[in-house]
């Protein structure tokens, strides 16, 4: 299924958007600053919005945008278009870097040794099967998120937007571990069901 980048960009969903991203990336790989600016204009809002949602701080979110685009500039030449959409890859970079920054801000000791922290330096080699959802899918997902029981939604959001483990989510919510795992599993199943409709 082809992705519709306009789901989040506010323009008609077209295959050309994805192809335009790949073309921009190819030009960026050759040092084309104009192509870099085009990519920024298409996706800065997407990257900034996710970083802001995770970090809840505008200055920190701006730092993440800078870091993500710097990484795109540095790794553009190694990006394999067959692995997925450029914008989806950028979203992955954004989430990983923002969660790392969140952990660092909270000075959690495991931030330095957590094997999942490797996500923070996730390069293009690790990015695969990355596709954006269509506008219609995003709308369905947003609606389904709203309709989730609050306890399920909260647990899922802590896991996704803060990168917490099951144990950490349980501790944060002061709920039994089993309860938290069940809530997250049920939430994921519901969202998966909605997206497969």
Partner 1 sequence: MGAVRDDDRPELQPPILQGLGQAVPQVDPPLALRARVLATVAGAPTARPEAARSAVWVLATAASLVLAAGLGLYTSQLRGRIGALESELGDARARAAAAEQRAIDAQQAVAGTRVALAVLTSPDVARIDLAGQAVAPRASARAYWSRSRGMVFTASNLPALPPGRVYQLWVLTAQPAPISAGLLMPDAQGGVNETFNTPSDIPQPVALAVTIEVAGGVQSPSGEKYLVGTVVGA
- Output the CA–CA distances (angstroms, integers) from residue 1 to 66, 83, 132, 192, in the order listed: 31, 14, 10, 16
Site residues for partner 1, 96-115, by CB under 8 A, read none
Neighbours of 195 (CB within 10 A): 14
Single out the residue of 165, 142, 169 nearest to residue 154, CA to CA: 169
3-state SS class at 108? coil
Q: Which stretch binds partner 1 (CB under 8 A): 17-25, 41-49, 101-109?
A: 41-49
| Rounded Cα gap, residues 5 and 99, in angstroms | 24
Q: Does 77 bind partner 1 (CB under 8 A)?
A: yes
Does 173 sit near partner 1 (CB under 8 A)? no
Task: Establish if 121 lies at the interface with partner 1 (CB under 8 A).
Answer: no
Q: C-alpha angle 91/130/146, rounded to 5°?
A: 60
Q: Residue 81: helix, strand or coil by DSSP?
A: helix
Residues 12-31 interacting with partner 1 (rule: CB under 8 A): 27, 30-31
User: CA 173, CA 64: separation in Å to the nearest integer?
Assistant: 28
Considering only residues 55, 91, 111, 148, which one is a binding residue for partner 1 as defined by CB under 8 A? 91
Q: What is the 3-state secondary structure (H, E, C) of 59-72?
A: HHHHHHHHHHHHHH
Beta carbon nearer to partner 1, 20 or 153 = 153
**Single residue of 25, 69, 101, 102 touching partner 1 by CB under 8 A:** 69
Decide: is 164 part of the binding site for partner 1 (CB under 8 A). yes
Could you say whether residue 133 binds partner 1 (CB under 8 A)?
yes
With binding defined as CB under 8 A, does residue 177 bind partner 1? yes
- Asked whether position 179 contacts partner 1 by CB under 8 A, the answer is no
CA-based nearest residue to 90, from 43, 42, 126: 43
Residues near partner 1, by CB under 8 A: 7-8, 27, 30-33, 36-37, 40-41, 44-50, 52-53, 58-59, 61-63, 65-67, 69-70, 73-74, 77, 88, 91-92, 94-95, 116, 129-133, 137-138, 141-142, 145, 156, 159-161, 163-167, 169, 177, 181, 184-185, 188, 191-192, 195
């Amino acid at each position: 299924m082809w992705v519709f980048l306009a789901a989040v960009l506010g323009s008609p969903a077209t295959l050309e958007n994805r192809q335009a991203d790949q073309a921009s990336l190819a030009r960026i790989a050759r040092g084309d600053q104009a192509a870099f600016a085009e990519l920024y204009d298409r996706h800065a809002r997407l990257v900034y919005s996710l970083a802001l949602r995770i970090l809840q701080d505008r200055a920190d979110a701006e730092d993440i945008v800078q870091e993500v685009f710097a990484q795109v500039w540095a790794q553009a030449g190694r990006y394999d278009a067959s692995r997925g959409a450029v914008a989806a890859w950028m979203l992955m970079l954004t989430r990983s870097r923002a969660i790392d920054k969140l952990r660092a801000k909270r000075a959690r000791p495991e931030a330095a040794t957590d094997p999942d922290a490797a996500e923070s330096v996730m390069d293009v080699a690790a990015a695969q099967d990355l596709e954006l959802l269509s506008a219609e899918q995003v709308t369905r997902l947003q609606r389904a998120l709203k309709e989730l029981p609050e306890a399920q939604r909260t647990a899922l959001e802590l896991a996704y937007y803060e990168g917490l483990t099951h144990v950490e989510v349980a501790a944060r919510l002061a709920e039994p571990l089993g309860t938290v795992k069940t809530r997250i599993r049920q939430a994921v199943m519901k969202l998966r069901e909605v997206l497969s409709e």
